[in-house]
Chain A
Amino acid sequence: MTTVSLPMPAGNAARFYDDAIVITEKGQTAVFSPVCPHLGCHINRLEEGELICPCHGSRFNLRGQLTHGPSTQGLQPLSFEIDAVRATLRIAVKS
């Protein structure tokens, strides 16, 4: 595992990075792996409140839970720490 540092999104937002999807909604922050559990595509779309895999159309809600296949699993949550001083997130990702 390695740690990456990413900027804390301002406002309600979903931000897509190579290593993580960072979601802030109503003051809550969640971080997920961007890798689709179905076939490893990087999820990079938010539409109508859902995260969508562009490769085969799996859909996940903002809590990372699967809402529509073909994937059979939700997104993997990543552990993180908020650095309030630098307004960044320190996220543990697989090296």
Chain B
Amino acid sequence: MSELLRGKPRARWYLLPLGMPAFAAFVICVVTGVLLVPVYKPGLPFDSVAMLLLKNPAGAYMRSLHYWSAQAFLVLTMLHVLDHWRRRSETRIGFGIWGRLALSIPAVVAVMLTGFLLRGDVASTQALNVLRSLLSFVPFVGAVLVRILTGSGPDRTAVYLHHAATLTILIWLVTIEHARRLLPRATTTAQMLPPLLALSFFLVPGLGWRATAIEKGPWYLVGLQELLHWMARPAIAVWLMLLSLLVFILLPKFPRGFRPWIRGTMAIAAGVYALLSVMGIGFRGEGWRLQSPLTLWKEEPHALSFRSYTSPDPKLLAINVPIVEDHREGCLACHAVMTGFVPAHDPKTVGCASCHLGNPLTLNPALAHAGMTLTPGNLTLANRTCGDSNCHAEVLTRVQGSLMNTMSGVIAVDKFAFGESADLNAHFEVARLGTSAADTHLRQLCASCHLGQDKEKPAPIDDSSRGGGCSACHLRYDPAAAAELGRRGGSLAPQHHPDVSIQVAPQACFGCHSRSGRIATNYEGWHETQLEEPAAKARPGWPSQFRVLGDGRVFAKRPADIHFEKGMTCVDCHLAAEVMSDGTAHSHEREAVRVACIDCHAAGATPARDFAQLDPETQQIVAMRRFNVPGRRFVASPGGAAHAGTFLGPDGRPRLSLLESGRLLEPRVAAAVCTGPAHARLTCEACHTSWAPQCIGCHTSFDPRAQGWDHLAGKLVKGAWQEDAANFEGDAPALGVETATQPDGQNTERITTFAPGMVMRLELPTGAKAQTRFLRLYAPVSPHTTPGKARDCRSCHANPAALGYGRGKLTYVVQGNTAEWKFLAAYPASPADGLPEDAWIGFLREPGLGTTTRKGARPFSLQEQRLCLLVGACLSCHTGKEPRIVAVFADFKHYRRSLRAECTLPAWADAAVDQAIARTGTGLGRMVSQR
């Protein structure tokens, strides 16, 4: 740079004048431009260029030569200007010539920019908008300049005229004066042609077929774009450019002593502009956010090559390429016969490239398929596919923040268990997991299940499927579509596409939800065993009573959920706003659930809404399922959500139309016992759960010598987490108390089902010496094992497992006029805390703190245990269906005096009832319901 400032020439290649090669490139550019005139339509700029690329290989090559000669002209002109700058030409030529040469620099930029604008694609339209805004800032003549130079509206006629005539003639005239010749030397032109012909053959300039998330403009103006990104007052940029041009023109007129300062300032400005250009080109990604150049390179399709001029089948050139979504969709030249779509996703409506990317502006298969994706549902690129701004962008935003994608609840509990976080409601994102012990544990054993896990190749959803973003739920292969997969790579184009719709199959949920709480397998009546497949085969009942999943786990038959037996699938209950998030950042999945059993099973009147009162998303689903029958009212949940597939029948009772079969169900009304005061505090699940999978004696350890699979990184890493369980039980779950926020915002305690969440010995890799933690944390669960008939009274009131003591024998022992409960545990006591391995709390003991994986959840207090066992004491002789037993518990204090002599109660019975009545009022039933 100092040499340039001092003006000492050196005989190096980059300091050659290069004026004549620039002139030659200019003339080649003019000639190719003239040849393009017959095929270019200024009134249809984008379509005429698109048709050139699709159908006119010779024209496409001419456009390529035009483009590359223009780029060569610009670069060589810049180097030529640099050469004049270096040689201080302003002092050696007349002021008039210097001024005209200086003015030709913006003319060169303008002729290049107008060429960019003539592409007519979205990028050029955005550039035209910016140009018009910038021109309008020119003092006094801004508005006139806008109209004269760019015309108005989308028409490019004015731009075309200036590009082809005004600017071209102006530059040629200045060049003639400067070079003192009409045409460049023939030898120079001959030397320029071969590299330009080759470059044009191998690197074909593309055409943007859709809006992108960042519009940088042509490369030589990216520095200006970067500058404008930082400028709230862009007029200043225009004034600075005009001032710089004026100073450059007047440079010879400045006193000799000032010129080094001016030259230095302009050299610094040029350097800053170069840095801004590098910043913009190399580091700016979608939304003008900073990104690494590597990421940018990976995201850009790099498919331009000489193959643009070749087509495997000349017949394709005769096909009329249809216009879809404002652009020619070349994909349909080969794939027009593709079937299997719902109308909204028909390629004749949305094209192929809007989902699968690639390049629709070519008929060459290799080029068309370059940069395309076979798994467009993956969330890593869904903002350009399913979640594109004109498709489902709003849904994508919600899904990205949903618990199925962030796994926030899972992470919060895991970090709590590992002692890395004290807040069970803290928010996390699986994609941002680090390298802590909990993070690596999650990466290896949990992260495969998050929705954002990329699906690697197209495949039907099966019981081993994980992740896949939108496709995880909305993609459904029928046999014809599945058969296409077997023909991949053949010469025949596929003809049947999997269904992409709201018809979400239960298999979509099965893969991930057969893990953890295993609600998917529970629902279908399968309980995981610790058997290997060969051992299972030797068992009685094989194969009908066993099921082996794709990952090798063996499940044994258990009672299925009554809703499954009735043909219901996951989305017959669960709403779009639940599974795809309602936009709220929930901590745990139970908070996201908005449906309730009483939506369908309420004993009284069922709240419902008209179609017009539904939220727009539910309206859309109702319309797609064609349920929008005049007068129909749709069932609304107390949580505010409405069901698209559940509506009131003529008798005012709900009717549920099943998504899979279309069958219409008439849900049963809740029994009287459900609505009585004694059980008002219970969730439906508390009684209507037949079994839940429960892991006993888990042991989680880290082996630093083994290798584990990091699901996020997709590679083997040093050190492996391992989980072992002593036993899997599949019986009735424990009951406990959960704090739930009601629709009115009030927090209320509800008795619900709990299962071991984190009952385990955890060996943490802490430095050189492992640290062992023992955890006995239960989690509130919805096992999805609803039986046809609710559990009986004794299964709660006299069941040690239900009360949290663990499995064993709970006996009511009466001796004379005294009585007491005794418990003999089935599992041995844990050396860590003295409780049986499968217990949650100690027998008739006040539980301590830190017993659950949820904030606001807890086991029964000692008083609640006693009240429950008090009922159990009566049930040791009576059945719960005896009317007098029901009456006794409706007002225990009153009937206590009239109990028979043989009705011996525990010593603590009266005290327990008195304590409860003191807090809540009279009567055991009311006490329980009002607590």
List residues of A whose CB falls within 8 A of some B CB: 9-16, 24-27, 35, 38-42, 44-49, 52, 54-57, 59, 69-72
Contacts and interface: CB of A to CB of B under 8 A. Distances in A.
B617 interface: yes
B616 A11 contact: yes
Contacts of A14: 389, 393-394
B130 A11 contact: no
A11 B397 CA distance: 14
A70 B215 contact: no
A2 to B, nearest CB: 13
Interface stretch (B222-230, B260-268, B558-566, B734-742): B222-230
Interface stretch (B206-214, B295-303, B827-835): B206-214
A52 B287 contact: yes
A42 B129 contact: yes
Contacts of A46: 389, 393-394, 397
Contacts of B394: 11-14, 25, 46
Interface string B79-105: 000000000000000000000000000
A47 B383 contact: yes
B133 A10 contact: no
B400 interface: yes
13 contacts: A11-B616, A25-B394, A39-B228, A44-B122, A44-B389, A45-B211, A45-B389, A52-B213, A55-B126, A55-B129, A57-B214, A57-B287, A72-B232
B638 to A, nearest CB: 19
A25 B616 CA distance: 8
A39 B289 contact: no
Given A12-B395, A45-B287, A56-B288, 8 more contacts: A25-B394, A42-B126, A45-B213, A47-B286, A47-B397, A57-B229, A70-B228, A70-B230
B132 interface: yes
A40 B132 contact: yes
Contacts of A26: 615-616
User: What does DSSP make chain B's interface, helix, strand, loop or mixed?
Assistant: helix
Contacts of A27: 615-616
B129 A70 contact: no
Contacts of B393: 13-14, 45-47
Interface in B394-450: 394-395, 397, 400
Nearest to B230: A70
A56 B616 contact: no
Contacts of A40: 129-130, 132-133
Contacts of B233: 72
Interface string B708-719: 000000000000
Task: Give the top 4 A-B pairs by smallest Cβ distance, nearest first.
Answer: A57-B288, A46-B393, A40-B133, A11-B620
A71 B225 CA distance: 14
A18 to B, nearest CB: 9
Interface of B: 122, 125-126, 129-130, 132-134, 211-215, 225, 228-234, 286-289, 383, 389-390, 392-395, 397, 400, 615-617, 619-620, 623
Nearest to B234: A39
Contacts of B215: 41, 54-55
Contact of A70 (B232, B383, B395, B616): B232
A38 B122 CA distance: 18
Given A24-B616, A45-B389, A57-B289, A71 B232 contact: yes
Contacts of B620: 10-11
A39 B287 CA distance: 15
A47 B287 contact: yes
B783 to A, nearest CB: 32
B229 A70 contact: yes
Contacts of B212: 54
Nearest to A35: B129
B473 to A, nearest CB: 16
Contacts of B623: 10
B128 to A, nearest CB: 9
B231 A70 contact: yes
B875 to A, nearest CB: 50
Nearest to B289: A57
B232 to A, nearest CB: 5
A33 to B, nearest CB: 12
Nearest to B132: A40
